[in-house]
Amino acid sequence: MTTILEPLYNPITNKYLIDLGIAGITILLNAISDDLEGWEYIYKASHIKVGAVNWTLFAVYLTFFVPHFFGEQDKLTIFSYILVVFWLMVLGCWLVVGTGQSWKSHGTTSRVALIGSPFLLAVLSFAIFIFFDYFFWLI
């Protein structure tokens, strides 16, 4: 499994380029499909379903990096906690989507889903991986 995912890990900059590519593609798709304007593409999802899909893709993408940390137990443990938090957020987003028109009544969770813009998630991913790649030893 790790040989299939090896292009994600080596060279180390691949994951950052993939992040930017995913963000660019989803921003383009949001621009084609919905009515956001200008800077809204950077900090917001166009609809609750779009935000839930964005968070899901982000969590799946992060999950692919679990094999990368198998050799380093401390990193794997902390990364696993981060993954659990994101998967709980994804579950919450999809529960809100499942409520149909009443999703606005689920204030906090629906705001999390709507904040799930591609650019924000790419920056969040950058921050996570830069921490794990370069600053983890400070713990």
| pLDDT tens, residue by residue, 19-41 | 777 777 767 766 666 666 666 66
* pLDDT for 70: 81
* pLDDT for 99: 79
Residue 109 tokens read as 């969770």
Residue pair 68/8 in contact by the 8 Å Cβ criterion: yes
* pLDDT for 84: 93
Q: What is the C-alpha to C-alpha distance for residues 22 and 25, in angstroms, rounded to an integer?
A: 5
* pLDDT for 103: 60
Q: What is the C-alpha to C-alpha distance for residues 36 and 92, in angstroms, rounded to an integer?
A: 24
One-letter amino acid for residue 5 of the chain: L
* pLDDT for 128: 82
- The low-confidence residues of the chain, meaning pLDDT below 70, are 1-3, 5-13, 26, 29-43, 101-109, 136-139
* pLDDT for 5: 65
Residue ranges per domain, the chain?
2-138
pTM (2 d.p.):
0.75
